[in-house]
Amino acid sequence: MADEFSALRTTNGIIAEQSARPESMRADALVVFLTEGGIGSGAIATMDTSTGGLLSRLVADGELTGKRYECVPLFAAPGLQASQLVVVGLGKREDLDAGTLFRAAATASRHLASRLRTRVVMVADGSWTSRQIEQAVAGAAVGMVGQDLYRTEKKRTRFGSTIWVGASFEAVERGTIIADGVNLARRLVNTSPEDLYPQTFSEEAAAVAGRTGLEVEIWDEKRLLHERCNAILAVGRGSSRAPRLVILRYQGLENRPRGEESGPDIALVGKGVTFDSGGLSLKPSDSMITMKCDMAGGAAMLAAAATIAKLKLPINIVAAIGLAENMTGSAAYKLGDVITARNGTTIEVHNTDAEGRLVLADVLDVVRGLKPRRIVDAATLTGACMVALGCDVAGLFTNNQPWCDAVAAAARSAGEPVWQLPMYADYDEHIRGDIADIKNVGDGRWGGAITAAKFLERFVGEIPWTHIDIAGPAFAEKPRPWTDGGGTGAMVRAMVELARIPE
């Protein structure tokens, strides 16, 4: 597999240039960004002057509108050395944020990456903040990478070099590292389940840890049995490929003592069901075909931990990923089984396709024992969350409102939309078991995303915890202007922002 986290070489072909005049630069393409309402000022106005007012005329004629993610190539534009000028819309100026810039830059590079480009110049506006620039840099680097892992003829080709005019080296370097993390998560999600299963995922995690300085610990089937991780083991019993648990540690504050009195600042927990057939509660084919993406939460947390380490953020974190394959072999767990989870809670199995919460139950209990100050988990947990919020918005659930507010703020700062759903105590009754403590699904089909979150809440104790259901945004079933279909890398950027939030 490709090595996203190799040593930076002029920031992986992405170069910061603060003094050059873009109109005089030779390139296959020159990219500028336009907001609605006309040319205005800044970089786009300078480009309009350089082209003899061409852009103003096109705006007046309605050929350029500046609407979000409009991408208009102009060939042989006067006054420019570049072969083409690409104008990308940003929408209304007052609504401009880092997420819009990420997607707009990704739209431009995805458009251009359909052919080999030796040199592409992108122009940052002087009004953008450093965080906005780094998200634009990240978006451009993500947009040129497609889901071509197994194609003989690639549909997307990385640029030979990308030159960001008006961007600092620090912002370009950070943006490139963030893009590497997003692309790592996307690659893992897009990998065939024949190639990516609990053992190979854990090996990939170990390789990433080695490249980024993370400490890594991998629990195999024997260790899971010793640790009483019966819920993970139950989910994995129907597969010929045994479960794993990956624990990653990053110590960004070396002067903080480690031990029982000083746990990590944040625990990142990810669901890593590398393929979900539904088990004996078998999914129909149409629902199963994308179930290689059921490890997207684990991929996001591995990528986020690696990105935080590469950025050398001053924080201590632990990341834990529960890995299993939910299959229908002769030893598969059954409806009516009662499982005793690691923390002693007994669970009635009413649906083997509600397996992610079982995997996370044991992982959350392992993490709880490490005494983190706060926990956040990401999981493609329920189709019910997609019914509630659609395909683009992740659901938030919490036992601690200030911590949930911090997670939401980080996600929105990175341009990843989230929405909080309620966690009223009345929902606990929906998962109360008849012969065991709890059951792994609620009563009927209503409120399924919430009852799944209430199930997870049983395993975090009093530690501030927020659950992110990414069933919708983790996988794009069709292309969008800024991304090919497939894994999106959802929540990698949000988790990096979360690690940056001051106490």
H/E element, 443: none
Report whether 383 contacts 357 (CB < 8 A). no
For 61, the token pair is: 């004629």
Is 67 in the active site? no
Q: Any idea what the Cα angle at residue 240 is, between residues 239 and 241, rounded to 5°? A: 85
Residue 340: strand, helix, or coil: strand
Instruction: Give me the catalytic one of 117, 271, 292, 357.
Output: 357
Report whether 410 contacts 501 (CB < 8 A). yes
What angle, 0 to 180 degrees and rounded to 10, lies between the N-to-C axes of helices 169-190 and 492-500? Answer: 140
Phi-psi sector, 315: left (phi>0), alpha (psi -120 to 50), beta: beta
CA distance 493 to 480: 19
Report whether 431 contacts 442 (CB < 8 A). yes
HEC string of 116-159? CCCEEEEECCCCCCHHHHHHHHHHHHHHCCCCCCCCCCCCCCCC
For 176, the token pair is: 């490139």
Instruction: Give me the catalytic one of 228, 241, 283, 500.
Output: 283
Is 68 in the active site? no
The count of other CB atoms within 10 Å of the CB of residue 390 is 12
Length of the chain: 503
| Residues designated catalytic | 283, 357
